[in-house]
Structure 1
Amino acid sequence: MDIKLSDIGHVIQLAIAPVFLLTGVCTMLMVLTNRLARIIDRSRVLEDRLEIGHHEGYMSELEVLDRRSHLINVSIALSTACGFLICLTIALLFLGDTTNLPLDRYIAGLFVCGVFALIGSFYFLLREIFIASKAMRERSHLRVRQAPRKTA
């Protein structure tokens, strides 16, 4: 097996696009884990308040947080799957070049599957954002209705 430096350079050039995608996926995972951490923190606060005996709509907010955490977990799973598929794509690029195996269809298939996993991850993130925004609007409308009215 005679591997030339120019061949390896060419494979590295081919791997640059998947590596950039992998960087974006890692950033996406940081965003998702931060959102999940915020959801968990808020859930703990509400659960503590429920233990004390306050029941002022906390159960409904906990249900919303539960739905949101489920969507974020699905998004995290899809982003992780995307990262895994992109890593396999990069590995097969090098393996195919160094062994002269015809792996082009597998490489293309893995890359496409990775992109679809990323699309799914964005979809579930968007659904979670819509639920969070809706809950925030509902809470602000409730506060406005419950605020004492000033009489002139």
Structure 2
Amino acid sequence: MEDFVEISAVIQMAVAPAFLLTGLGAILSVMANRLSRIVDRHRVLREVKKLSIAKKSVTELALLKCRAKWTHWAIAFTTISALLISLLIAMIFIATEVFVDLDTYLAGLFIAAMAGLIVGLLCFLREVHLSKGVINNYES
């Protein structure tokens, strides 16, 4: 009975990071969708550029490349964060099975995961800010 209570407590500790993984998956889906749209727009503009070189399309191509770079880094950092959270969940279970105190490592993993998420979200925020430049180009 004591083992059941201990396993139950471990599962409860792992539930919060598991929910965090769900949220990270949703964020990654949004980022991947934006990257896909950037790539699609880039392909269209490259075809237009072959037909006639318009200054606006050249400028927009450069902006799209910059946006793609920022989105790439946002996805990379957010994915690293998700990997660290997955490792954290695994280590929670390992720590209870081998009876080793991994609290310091668990805290470090969580801090690293949150730092990765913060950097990823800042990169994504930069890309969103850059996308306003595309809108401004259409208005002029």
CA displacement, residues 110-150 of structure 1 (integer Å, 9 cap, x when unaligned): 0111011111111011100011013312321x1xxxxxxxx
What aligned pairs does 1:1-152 form with structure 2 within 5 A after superposition? 4-140=3-139, 142=140
Give the helix-richer structure, 1 or 2.
2
Larger Rg: 1
Partners of 1:20 and 1:72 in 2: how far apart?
A: 24
The alignment of Structure 1 onto Structure 2 pairs a total of residues equal to: 139
Q: Structure 2: any 5+ residue segments left out of the alignment?
A: none
Q: Following TM superposition, by how much is the alpha carbon of 1:51 offset from its aligned partner in structure 2, in angstroms?
A: 1.2
TM-score, structure 1 as length reference: 0.88
Match of 1:101, SS state, is coil
Give a deviation string over 1:9-51, Cα, whole Å, max 9, x none: 1000001111111111100100000000000000000000111
Q: Moved runs in structure 1, 4+ residues, more than 3 A?
A: none
Segments of 5+ residues of structure 1 without an aligned counterpart are 143-152
Measured in 2, the distance between the counterparts of 1:118 and 1:29 equals: 11
Taking structure 1 as reference, are residues 70 and 138 closer, same or farther at Cα in structure 2, changes over 3 Å only?
A: same
CA distance in 2, matches of 1:22, 1:55: 44
- Could you state the TM-score of these two structures normalised by the residue count of structure 2? 0.95
